[in-house]
Structure 1
Amino acid sequence: MRIRRDGMIWAAIALLAAAPPSLAWAQSPWSVPSDLSVEQRTIIFGNRGATLSGTLYLPREKRPRGAVIALHGAQVPLRSDPLYRHLIDILPRLGWGLFIYDRRGSGESTSGGAAPGNFELLAEDAVAAFARLRREPGLDPDRIGFWGLSQGGWLTMLAAAKEQRAAFAVAVSAPMAAADVQMNFAVANILRIRGQPQSVIDRAVRARTAVDDYARGLRSRSEADAAEADVAGEPWYDQLWLKGNIDDPEWPRQIRADPLRSLRGSRVPTLLIFGQSDPWVPVGASLAALRSSAAELSQVTVKIIDGADHAMMLGIPPLQQVDTGFATRAAPNAPAYFALLGAWLQSMNPGDKATEKSGEKDAHIGK
């Protein structure tokens, strides 16, 4: 197995991210019309009591096109969130359709009465979107797959395990660890970046671990309550992502979710992309876990984007990276990520002979 770090590759593809495909061309005397026409269709579908609304961006060409279904990060539930703009800009230019819908309970999508944070249900929503797109005119039902970043990456792997007809899955910044392990790693970094000493970090992680152990059935409620009470009065308590976990019915289910189990249960070609400088995800531990399971993951390709953070951004100060307010405005800007995403998707496109040689076959986990 080889896990390579990608630098600037295929810069021509990367530059596509800077040019939205449907800009009005007559903005100046020297402008020319675009050579790309993109149709937007509103698609509404249902699943488990919810009505979900989304937009399909589709290049206007006669031959059927493949499509990418975007799954949501925890802080970005709307199709209009900046995180998804690069997909709108890049994918139609490369001949792919893109479907983005408002997550259940957000925007124009109803909740169906479900509690937020149910990973299984959110993945089932993506599978329902997949089934709906297979019937959509202009799409090739055999070339539809999933993309997601952060929590969306977790959901991408889970959706691919549930829907083995998917053509591919792309999971960006998705930890190969349980949610509690990932959050303990993130909280330690949040406190470290904000100048807290190691003694505070250790105390915070101990409190979180006690609550997580209760959720796993390993400690009593009184022990968990006491551990949270020990830190609840501290000025850094709000940075721990701990409040409400004890009584959250979804938290025990989330921490039992195993992304490696989803990968092992899938035969869908899957691209895992990590940022080299991600304070939210234990990338080193994730790579080690993937290596230990290499024999079972022949369908998985792993890439690391040099210098990129959790949102595939370059040049963002660490304090901003761990600011949840910034998360809603984050949008990828790493050229290597754009290039890699475009090249790998084109390698999944058997109808495009010109791009068949672009597949990074030497990076598969099982080799």
Structure 2
Amino acid sequence: MPKQYPVLATQAMRWAAFLFGLASSVCSHAEDATRAAPVPWSAPASVSVVEEEKTFENGPTKLSGTLYLASGRKPQSAIVVTHAAAFPLRDLPLYRHLKEMLPALGVAVFIYDRRGSGRSGGDLQTSDYALLADDAIAAVRMLKADVRIDPRRVGIWGLSQGGWLALLAASRSPEPAFIIAASAPLVSPDVQMMFRSINVMRVNDYPQADIEQMIATRKAVDDYMRGTGDRPTAQRLVDAAKTKPWFKLLYMGETVTDRATSRWRKEIEFDPLRTLEGVKVPALVIYGAADPVVPVADSVERLRVAHPKFDLAVIAGADHAMRLSVPPRVQMDPARMHEEAPESAEYFAILASWLTRQAIARP
């Protein structure tokens, strides 16, 4: 059985919950506050965080990111961030809690633009999970060469697809020293997207007949990609669905591409559970109990049965991004996804105390 991490079981974790919960509550004002001129009564902070632009290479591709680290403290641990599918850039609110909180615990944070996005080169459309994982490995290797970073304590934090990539990176290379995978579905991508699609239609009050049409459409496309269905049938169903108002919520293309060259075919052949067999370093897997995007119950059960070596936590009331106060319809609105930022004190407490227990965080 995976170890169920005891929540708030020690004084250190209670302090972490208070401090990180408080920090989360003022998170939306933090950026403005740091830019404002100091007030006359201000005092110097205990920890000063330095931001540095850094580039690294994976083969011929140059990628660019920002390193956040405590000034004057060395050597320190470090975390490389791997992106969720919908979040390719370094400057999203989702990552604010990492760069504002972890440097104070002696953990530097490196967030880079995913290949093909922002200031990073390369082409996402010609990549696969292995190549994206290798990008993260290259970032870990770059940080290990920094004299301010302890090369024995550099790991990866990822959310959703980024959680898969973090685990995949650790299975492909001994470079990462630890892994934190948040909201990482441990089912194949087609199963996860069917789960998400059903829920997004439910929260938007579409009738069951429309949900059944969506299921038939997704299944036809996935059957064709797996070689058990035909392309004309799949395209006919997509043509009928693309006129519906709910089609834009599904992240489906209007044209069924040739399975011989389809990126989606390559993705649905990936079973993240097999990835875990090669992970030999400490790993924390975290889920929100109220996540409408990832089948948490199935993911947890698969993890318990197949891989009992990881620390596992399911956060009460939390959604895909570890929020507590956002209604499901807003959670699943593609136009609002860039606003995601964790707010669960339990998540912050588990993150801080696990890093401390692993001797990664050193306040």
Q: Which residue of 2 aligns with 1:63?
A: 74
Percent identical: 40
1:363 corresponds to: none
Could you tell me how far apart the structure 1 residues matched to 2:53 and 2:62 are? 13
After superposition, the C-alpha distances for 1:64-123 in whole angstroms (9 at most, x for unaligned) are 111000111122211111111111111101111111111111111112x45266221111
| Residue of structure 1 equivalent to 2:161 | 151
CA distance in 2, matches of 1:316, 1:178: 27
The match for 1:105 among 116, 119, 125 is 116
Q: Taking structure 1 as reference, are residues 312 and 318 closer, same or farther at Cα in structure 2, changes over 3 Å only?
A: same
Q: SS at 1:328's partner residue?
A: helix
Structure 1 residue 40: deviation in Å? Answer: 2.1
The separation in 1 between residues aligned to 2:334 and 2:222, in whole angstroms, is 22
C-alpha distance in structure 2 between counterparts of 1:245 and 1:269, whole Å: 42
> 1:257-336 to 2 correspondence within 5 Å?
257-294=270-307, 297-298=308-309, 300-336=310-346
Whole-angstrom CA distance in 2 between matches of 1:317 and 1:114: 32
Unpaired segments ≥5 residues, structure 2: none
1:158-197 alignment to 2 at 5 Å? Answer: 158-197=168-207
Structure 1 length-normalised TM: 0.88
Partner of 1:241: 251
TM-score in terms of structure 2 length: 0.89
Query: Contact 2:140/2:175 (CA < 8 Å) preserved in 1?
Result: no
Unaligned 5+ segments in structure 1 are 356-367
Letter in 2 for 1:207: T
Tell me if the contact between 2:242 and 2:254 (Cα under 8 Å) persists in the aligned partners: no
Contact 1:5 1:305 in 2 (8 A): no
**Structure 1 residue 252, shift from structure 2 partner:** 0.9
Paired residue secondary structure (2:346): helix
Structure 1 CA distance for aligned equivalents of residues 280 and 19 of structure 2: 28
Size of the aligned set, in residue pairs, is 349
Distance change >3 Å, CA 193–CA 351, structure 1 → 2: closer
How far apart in 2 are the matches of 1:185 and 1:281?
Answer: 7
C-alpha RMSD of the superposition: 2.3
- Distance in 2, matches of 1:89 and 1:154, equals 24
* Partner-residue secondary structure (3-state), 2:290: coil
Runs (4+) of structure 1 moved beyond 3 Å? 2-10, 15-26
Segment of structure 1 superposing worse, 70-79 or 177-186:
70-79
Q: 2:36, 2:349 → 1: CA distance?
A: 25
SS at match of 1:75: coil
Match of 1:252 in 2: 265
Is 1:38 the counterpart of 2:70? The answer is: no
The residue type paired with residue 50 of structure 1 is T
Letter in 1 for 2:266: R
Partner of 1:232: 242
Q: Which residue is equivalent to 1:81?
A: 92
Say if 2:76 and 2:149, in contact at 8 Å, map to a contact too. Answer: yes
Answer yes or no: is 1:120 the counterpart of 2:148: no
- Greater CA deviation, 326-335 or 236-245? 236-245
1:50 matched residue in structure 2: 61
Q: Residue in 1 aligned with 2:350?
A: 340
Other-structure match for 2:212:
202
Aligned-residue offset at 1:321: 0.5
